[in-house]
Amino acid sequence: MKTALVVAAHPDDEVLGCGATIARLSHEGWEVHVLIVAEGSTSRKEKRDVVSSSEEISGLAKCAEDANKILGVTSVSLLSLPDNRMDSMDLLDIVKIVEGYIVKYQPALIFTHHAGDVNIDHKVLHDAVIAACRPQPGHVVKELLFFEVPSSTEWRPASSGMYFTPDYFYDVSEFISKKLQALSVYGSEMREFPHPRSIDAVNYLACWRGASVGCQAAEAFMLGRCII
């Protein structure tokens, strides 16, 4: 049984970043586990208040469960790290969390955020995953891929830092409909076109990524490491 782990910052990032690839891998017999580390809600208020945001947090958790069921994932783990405040934590604490799930699921393949995203949680989690996947002798993770998240990755100007330049693509022509269906479950997180985090924009991006490599629809990644 091949096993993959998707490590995402917030509910909906996992679907935006690699939802159609998740659906494809699940269809092909992979065991796909999803880890979402932050609660995804409290940054919308001036001060973090988990109690007053509890209903919204619970709603997002339910959306995550329902959306990932559509994609065919094996498990979804939802943690409660502070939304858009993960830079206030010691990086080591986040690394330890990721390491724990690597030990638990023994994934050969990990998907996570690109380092250049505008969202601070994406950047912090990227660094934590890199640290947790140090290629020490016998380490189980053999392939590491970084995904793009519409409304975060492309908002990083190329001149201001690390820019997303994909070099690894999954043909998801048969699975893009699953991704769009899963995103529709996250109704509160989606926006109207031409916002990049809209159903139409996500579909157009998949079509463009596909056209750039000769297929109907694709999800694009940057290769972090591949050990064969």
In this predicted model, what pLDDT tens digit does every residue of 104-138 receive, in sequence order? 999 999 999 999 999 999 999 999 999 999 999 99
pLDDT tens digit string along 188-197?
A: 899 999 999 9
Check: CB of residue 209 under 8 Å from CB of residue 166: yes
Q: What is the pLDDT of residue 48?
A: 67
Residue 74 to residue 67: CA distance in whole angstroms: 12
Contact 98, 25 (CB under 8 A): no
pTM of the model as a whole: 0.96
- The pLDDT value given to residue 49: 64
Q: Rounded to an integer, what distance in angstroms lies between the CA atom of residue 11 and that of residue 78?
A: 8
- What sign results for the dihedral spanned by CA atoms 120, 94, 79, 35? positive
Residue 1: per-residue pLDDT: 75
Tens of pLDDT, residue by residue over 36-81, are 999 977 777 667 666 667 788 899 999 999 999 999 999 999 999 9
pLDDT tens readout for residues 58-69:
999 999 999 999
Domains identified in the chain and CATH numbers: 3-226 (3.40.50.10320)
pLDDT (average), residues 164-181: 98
Residue 82's pLDDT band (boundaries 50, 70, 90)? very high
What pLDDT does 51 receive?
67
3-state secondary structure of 72: coil
* CA 77 vs CA 64, 104, 139, 169, 192: distances in Å: 9, 12, 22, 26, 29
Helix or strand run (H / E) with residue 179: helix 176-185
